[in-house]
Amino acid sequence: PAGLNDVYNVLQWTYKNGKSINGDEKHIAVVGDSAGGNLSAAVSSMSRDKNGPPITCQVLIYPSTNISELNSKSWSYFSNSFNVSREDMEKYISIYAPKKEDRKNPYASPLLSKDLRKLPDTLVVTAEIDPLRDEGEAYANKLKESGVKAEVTRYKGITHGFITMDKITNKADEALNQISLYIQKEFQK
């Protein structure tokens, strides 16, 4: 999909030109929430596969990691969530990957990847009341099984999209603080 290629082009630009914006090409983190978490996971795999820019770490915030099937327990529990309903998700998926066979591509559904080795250290943040919860946590577990250093934190009593709800819940600030400290720690290695 074009969106992933755009993200990869930004990654390459950042690696080549980071110093011009006071960046450091030796310390690159990719971070995304929801569909952005999907793109972050996919660009990490793409960069590894293409011998592209090295990524220090990735932070996946309630990521969508399997767009080929919406069949996890959390999807059955929370499919009518006001933030992300099954109907809305199916619409988004049909726009992003109109052909059903493309949805099984590991760049579209990172959880389906047969090879997660040599991916960057990863922090996965999930929300307890979120249809995407189980697939995000399953991806973290699959990374660990592949030898990737991966951490997962489930924020209790909170829903999809909470990272932007700092006016409503202190869990947003708590998660942002965790993410900031995680990236700082990874950059100090």
Is residue 34 annotated as part of the catalytic site, yes or no?
yes
Going by DSSP bridges, is the β-strand pair 121-129/29-33 parallel, antiparallel, or unpaired?
unpaired
Catalytic hit among 34, 72, 74, 81:
34
Count structural domains, the chain: 1
Domain annotation covers residue 91 = yes
Catalytic hit among 33, 121, 130, 134:
130
Using a pLDDT cut of 90, give the percent of the chain over it. Answer: 96
CATH code for the domain in which residue 112 is found = 3.40.50.1820
In Å, how far are 30, 57, 142, 174 from 183, measured between CA atoms? 10, 7, 21, 14
Domain annotation covers residue 26 = no
Domain annotation covers residue 22 = no
The C-alpha atoms of residue 156 and residue 63 are separated, in whole angstroms, by 16
pLDDT digits (tens, 9 = 90+) for 60-87: 999 999 999 999 999 999 998 878 999 9
Catalytic hit among 33, 44, 121, 160:
160
Q: Are 56 and 125 in contact (CB under 8 A)?
A: no
Name the pTM for this structure. 0.96
